[in-house]
A and B are shown apart, each in its own frame.
Chain A
Amino acid sequence: MPYDGGPMTEAMYYVLLALVHPNHGYQLMTEIEEVSKGRIKMGPGTLYGVLTRLQKDGLIIVINDDGRRKTYSITEGGRTALKMEYERLISMVDDGKIVKEARDE
């Protein structure tokens, strides 16, 4: 199913995030690990699965393909989707504050 603006998977979110700067698969893996501060170790199958899917949904495009490697970049649509997800996550965290407050009492 094409992306419909609903919640993203963690893998999808981080791949989009890492593609804010155009990048290729190999570099992406390291970038994702860095951005998530080592929390996310994505399997190569998952990474390329996400890349294929995002490309189909038009959230990323291949800007260079020399046969050996492909360089991917986020599209405008991808940026919008990423921003919306970011805001959704922020409000989720905000709403979650009551858990902390309840514990503080």
Chain B
Amino acid sequence: MSKLVRRFKLGQLWEYGKNESWYSDMALKGLHLQSVGNFLVTFEKGEPKKTKYRIEILEESPTQEQLDLYKEYGWELAASNQIFYIFSSPEELNAPELHTDPMEQSFTFKMLNKQLKKNMILITILFLSFSSQIFNQFFLQDEPYLFLITRRSFTYIMVVIPYMYVLYKSIRGYFAIKNIKNSLLMGIPIRHNENWKLGYIFSSILYVYLIAMIITLLFTPYYTSAQRGLYKYMTVEDMPIISINDIETGPVYDYWHNVRYDWSLLSPKQLSISESGYVEGEMQDELSGAYTSTSIHINYYELAFKGMAEGLLNDLINFYYREYKYDDELVKIEDSKFDQLYVDYGEEKKFIIFDRMYVDKGEETKLIFASFDKKVIQIRYTGNADIERIISLMEEKYDLQK
């Protein structure tokens, strides 16, 4: 059995000159064209031979008589793919060209021309709708950084790159065929010798990229769930966060916690941790007895670039106040050990309705938004401890010095 060698396909088959020259150069190395698939071209190993190749468009599959006639003229069918038929002829046979009338040959491009035009329009429409969606996601969002650090945003970018290439190729292809058609009409024959190397490099890069993309997209969920499993069994003390066990001075009863891990290229580590429990406190009412509930919710992000920290911090603040709060009491703490630090002391709020003043004691929820280096932290704490205590615990935990 002879040995088969496979290569990525070079661009599209209507790139006559490049493909024909490539097949000829391969034959010179003893690799003879055997079949052309949608992505791969198969060559059969044999003796090096000088061979000419010609690509033909046949709208109807050829009859035996037709193939015999081509053979009589020195051209044998080597491979075919859809409407493209590739004929080969040994160089020394000096076979006459398949086409002796450029004007007639130009008519064979009519169908392809129409097809490529349809293709181009379709791809353009799809691209426009797709890219406008991406544009909305990236630029018209209230919190662009919060979107940027998701894995979804990266998928969009990964998909958009080959899409742009396909769009570019479809537009170029349409005009290339139109040009060939028109120059044939004016009697200028097709060029059969063209440098294929650059084109080959480009299409190889595209294929490698597509394969890498598919593998990445396939394996991402496995990686994520493996990482999630890892964090599930980790104690909160081992995580880069402070725990309510540290914050509360006494023991925490009915302690419960939940950890959610996520990652993306722009933010390789994202933790979302909730903890809650009860601490001994003052008697408040009959039902709750001498216990007060305490809870903390922390969003912790490690970013790939330090430059994103400020943007993400602002997005977290915006998002929080848009979703949960009706007025802004956030205080910026200058001169802290963090790069940036904002706190909301969660004090009682006063507001006036119909000339009467109301006091909302709220839930005593205290908020901290902080960033240092590549890390961004959002803390929502409900309990008796002071915000200053939490901040000093954080400074200790992250070993911050000024």
B20 → chain A closest CB, angstroms: 14
Known contacts A12-B104, A29-B69, A46-B104; is-contact A69 B98 (Cβ 8 Å):
no
Known contacts A9-B101, A11-B100; is-contact A44 B107 (Cβ 8 Å):
no
Encoded as 1 (CB less than 8 Å from any B CB) or 0, chain A from 7 to 33 comes to: 001111000000000001110010000
B105 partner residues in chain A, CB cutoff 8 A: 45-46, 49
Contact A48 B101 (CB under 8 A): no
Contact A68 B60 (CB under 8 A): no
A36 → chain B closest CB, angstroms: 12
Contact B100 A43 (CB under 8 A): yes
Contact A53 B107 (CB under 8 A): yes
**CB within 8 Å: A-B pair count:** 79
Contact B65 A70 (CB under 8 A): yes
Contact B60 A41 (CB under 8 A): no
Contact B60 A52 (CB under 8 A): yes
Choose one: B54, B75, B104; the contact of A49 (CB below 8 Å).
Answer: B104
Contact B69 A44 (CB under 8 A): yes
A26 partner residues in chain B, CB cutoff 8 A: 65, 68-69, 72
Complex CA distance for A29 and B70, rounded to whole angstroms:
11
Contact A49 B108 (CB under 8 A): yes
Contact B99 A49 (CB under 8 A): yes
Complex CA distance for A26 and B107, rounded to whole angstroms:
22
A28 → chain B closest CB, angstroms: 9
Contact B99 A46 (CB under 8 A): yes
A24 partner residues in chain B, CB cutoff 8 A: 65
A45 → chain B closest CB, angstroms: 3
CB closest chain-A residue, reference B67: A44
A47 partner residues in chain B, CB cutoff 8 A: 69
Complex CA distance for A9 and B72, rounded to whole angstroms:
24
Known contacts A43-B73, A43-B100; is-contact A49 B107 (Cβ 8 Å):
yes
Encoded as 1 (CB less than 8 Å from any A CB) or 0, chain B from 57 to 69 comes to: 0111011111011
Contact B66 A50 (CB under 8 A): no
Q: Does A67 contact B (CB under 8 A)?
A: yes
Known contacts A25-B69, A26-B68, A26-B69; is-contact A45 B62 (Cβ 8 Å):
no
Complex CA distance for A28 and B69, rounded to whole angstroms:
11
Known contacts A68-B63, A69-B63, A70-B63; is-contact A43 B69 (Cβ 8 Å):
no
Encoded as 1 (CB less than 8 Å from any B CB) or 0, chain A from 47 to 61 comes to: 111101100000000
Contact A9 B104 (CB under 8 A): yes
Known contacts A29-B69, A52-B59, A67-B63; is-contact A41 B99 (Cβ 8 Å):
no
Contact B100 A46 (CB under 8 A): yes
B58 partner residues in chain A, CB cutoff 8 A: 48, 52
A70 partner residues in chain B, CB cutoff 8 A: 63, 65
A48 partner residues in chain B, CB cutoff 8 A: 58, 62, 66
Q: Does B307 contact A (CB under 8 A)?
A: no
Contact A45 B99 (CB under 8 A): yes
Contact B73 A44 (CB under 8 A): yes
B103 partner residues in chain A, CB cutoff 8 A: 9
Q: Does B96 contact A (CB under 8 A)?
A: yes
Contact B65 A43 (CB under 8 A): no
Within 8 A of A (CB), among B74-109: 75, 96-101, 103-105, 107-108
Q: Does A42 contact B (CB under 8 A)?
A: yes
Complex CA distance for A70 and B67, rounded to whole angstroms:
12
Q: Does B56 contact A (CB under 8 A)?
A: yes
Contact A42 B101 (CB under 8 A): yes
Complex CA distance for A52 and B85, rounded to whole angstroms:
15
Complex CA distance for A48 and B60, rounded to whole angstroms:
10
B59 partner residues in chain A, CB cutoff 8 A: 52
A42 partner residues in chain B, CB cutoff 8 A: 100-101
- Can you show 18 pairs from A to B with CB atoms below 8 A apart? A9-B104, A11-B104, A12-B104, A24-B65, A26-B69, A42-B101, A43-B96, A43-B99, A44-B69, A44-B75, A45-B97, A46-B98, A47-B69, A48-B66, A49-B108, A68-B64, A69-B63, A70-B63
> Which 4 pairs across A and B sit closest by C-beta, in order of nearness?
A45-B98, A69-B65, A43-B100, A11-B101
